[in-house]
Amino acid sequence: MTIPDAVDVYEKLSVDELRIIAFKDVGIDPQMAKDLTEAAHADGRSVLLELADMSDAGQERGYQFALDLGVDRVIGAWRPDVAQTFAGSGKPEYWPFVGSLSGSPLVLASSPDELAAEAERLSATDGVRGMCLMPYRQSSYDPVLLMQRTAAAATVPFVIAGGVRGAEQITDIAGAGAWGFTMGGAALADRHDDPASVTERVSEIIRLSR
C-alpha cells in the first residue's frame, strides 16, 4: 500500500538526483495522489503508478485513475485493450506485469521459459513501452535467472519491483540488464522514528545505482 504520509515524506526528501517517484493505487487518497503527482511534476520528476489491485474492477479503476492523474508510466495487469488505449500520444506509458501474479502482496508463479515467451510477445505488442518483473516475489527459481531470461527475450525495457532491499540485489539487477527498479519498504521503514533516514537511504540507493 502507499504510505498515508506520502506527500509529507516527499516534501521533506532532499535528493537532487532523484528523477522518478512511484506509488500504488491501493490505500491512497485520490486527492493525496493528485497532490503528490503535481508536486513531483513541479520538481521536474516523473511519476509511476503501480496498480496493485489485480481484480478486473480494480484494474479498470486503476487505469482510469492513471489517466485522471496524468502520471508518466503505469504498471498493471496485461490487457490488450489498455495497450491500444495507451498507445496514443499524451498518454501514460504502459508497462504491464510479465508473468502470472496473484495474492497481496503479489507473488510470481511463472517459470523462466514462460517469462521469456511472454516477454517476447509483449515486446512485439503495439502500445507496450516496457514491462515489470517481480523476480524476488517467488522462491522457486533464481531471481537472477528470471531477470536474464526476460532480458534476453525482451526488446523493450523492464523494471524490477517487489522485495528489492540492498546492494547485492542492485548489482544483480544492473548486471541482468534491467532498466531500473522500485524500492519502497526498505527506503521508508524508519521514517517515523528518523525522518532524515529516507533522504539518507534514497541517496545511498542512487549512489549504488550510479
Give the residue extent of every domain in the chain: 6-209
pLDDT of residue 111: 96
Of 6-15, 22-31, 83-92, 201-210, give the lowest mean pLDDT range.
83-92
Reported confidence tier of residue 87, pLDDT bands at 50, 70, 90: confident
What's 6-209's CATH class? alpha beta
DSSP 31-76: HHHHHHHHHHHHTT-EEEEE----SHHHHHHHHHHHHHHT-SEEEE
The arithmetic mean of pLDDT across residues 162-190, rounded, is 93
pLDDT of residue 204: 94
Within 8 A by CB and 6+ apart from 161, the residues are 50, 75, 132, 133, 134, 181, 182
Asked whether the whole model's pTM tops 0.85, one would answer yes
Of 68-77, 85-94, 143-152, give the lowest mean pLDDT range.
85-94
State percent of the chain over pLDDT 90.
81
